[in-house]
Amino acid sequence: MVLDALGVGLLGTSTEVFHKVSGYSKIHSMDFDDTWYPATHPSGPVLPVLMALSEALPPSPKYSGLDLLLAFNVGIEVQGQLLRFSKEAYDIPKRFHPPSVVGTLGSAAAASKFLGLSVTECQEALAIAVSYAGAPMANAATQTKPLHVGSAARHGLEAAFLAMLGLQGNKRVLDLETGFGAFYANYSPKVLPDLDSHTWLLDKQDVAFKRFPAHLATHWVADTAASLRRHLVSDEAPLPIDRIERIMLRIPDVQYVNRPFPSSEHEARHSFQYVACATLLDGAITVPAFHKHQINRPQVRQLLGKVELEHPRDNLPNFNSLYCEMSVALKDGAVFTERSDTFYGHWRKPLSQKDLQEKFRANSCRTLSCHAVERLIETVGNLEDLEDCSVLTTLLKEPSPPKIASKSIYHLTIPSYNLSCGLTTSK
């Protein structure tokens, strides 16, 4: 999770959103970060806080990699426990973007642990963080959505510092319907088990790692469309668009990912229809697939006009149970159907460590030197043995590699990387 979040953040520095808000480092600027269940992006609000603290705090005493890992796990754990107090939180969100809610408290908890706050100060930090929390789903698929995770990280850290300075809030805020319960229906907090018998949620529920930067639900669509394409074309032949009569997508009813004709990069990342058509056309989804000139290709717009949606009653908007079934009807009467119940990268079918490392290389190779990339992979892999966790930020500050006019790994998708310090040949 640490390695993936670092790589996604490095890739995010190339986006328009990052440059528009260049004073802040936005982990979530491409919708590429990890996703948990119940639904949230857990790492993005937590890791930047710990990286900043490890860099900013005095060099003595040193904070070890184990200190960072423990605080990171605390930040993740708080998010997961809060989400499990509400039935609504298990489904794809409709009202509040979860990282802006639980992420803010995860950030405050991680910062409090790392800074060594007392129990009372931790309570105050979480109480303060609740008043910073919350961003509406109406801003999904806009340039504002990437700010949610960055704001959660910043506000959680600020809440911890304010608690250190003695600012007070309602210590029962997490127990009240008018407190944290305002964000989730059916909110019913429970007493947590004693620490001696506590089991970390990450031991019971893994995260999903995305292979391309778009809403998690579209990953089922991409897998299904890639399988269907094999019925329609052979080898490198172009997709016979004129022979296609209709494309039927059977997916959950998630309104903010139902965008028939996306007009921007951020809308395309939140469009079942676009991911289906782009995959049918190109065979895979890559980072450049969401550039505006790709979205507006005539072939894509032609395919989008053929897409219809159905929402089967058994296909619920839940990352643990949803599926995608897709049918392509040809004008000669032939119909081909495929279905995906679990995509590669989901917690039931996790990315291999090799592919996770290749994703990191792809995301970071244009921002960091090849040496720094490989050192980071090695360092993060042995984080618990690191004596001084500020080594991570030192590696992140190494000079970026020179611009090279070549095909880049941005044009590939896991598992087909062929990496050599930023150079590659494309399949």
**Domain ranges across the chain:** 1-209, 216-340
What percentage of the chain reaches a pLDDT higher than 90?
Answer: 76
Distance CA 114, CA 389 (A): 12
Distance CA 121, CA 69 (A): 21
Note if the bond before 61 is cis, omega within 30 degrees.
yes
Q: What is the pLDDT of residue 402?
A: 66
pTM for this predicted structure: 0.88
Distance CA 154, CA 165 (A): 17
3-state helix, strand, coil in the chain (%, to 5): 50, 5, 45
**Domain 1-209 part of CATH 1.10.10.10:** no
**HSE, side-chain direction, 13 A CA sphere, residue 199:** 4
Q: How far is CA 280 from the centre of its chain?
A: 24
Whether 48 and 27 have beta carbons less than 8 Å apart is answered as yes
Q: Name residue, tokens 């995906």.
A: 340
Distance CA 156, CA 13 (A): 22
Low-confidence ranges of the chain (pLDDT < 70): 20-30, 401-427
Name all contacts of 198-207 with Cβ < 8 Å and 24+ positions apart: 200/73, 200/77, 201/76, 201/77, 201/80, 201/81, 201/84, 202/73, 202/76, 202/77, 202/80, 205/36, 205/37, 205/80, 205/347, 206/347, 206/350, 207/1, 207/34, 207/35, 207/36, 207/42, 207/43, 207/347
Q: Which CATH architecture has domain 216-340?
A: 2-Layer Sandwich (3.30)
Measured at the alpha carbon of residue 335, what is the angle toward residues 333 and 337, in degrees to the nearest 5? Answer: 175
Max Cα distance, the chain (Å) = 74
Q: What is the pLDDT of residue 236?
A: 77
Q: What is the pLDDT of residue 30?
A: 60
Token code pair at residue 203: 């031991």
Q: What is the pLDDT of residue 198?
A: 86
Q: What is the pLDDT of residue 196?
A: 86
* Residue from 100, 197, 216 nearest 150 by CA: 100
Q: How far is CA 234 from the centre of its chain?
A: 33
Whether 409 and 363 have beta carbons less than 8 Å apart is answered as no
Burial label, 401 (beta-carbon count in 10 A; 0-12, 13-18, 19+): middle
Q: What is the pLDDT of residue 61?
A: 84
Distance CA 129, CA 306 (A): 46
* Residue from 37, 36, 113, 34 nearest 75 by CA: 113
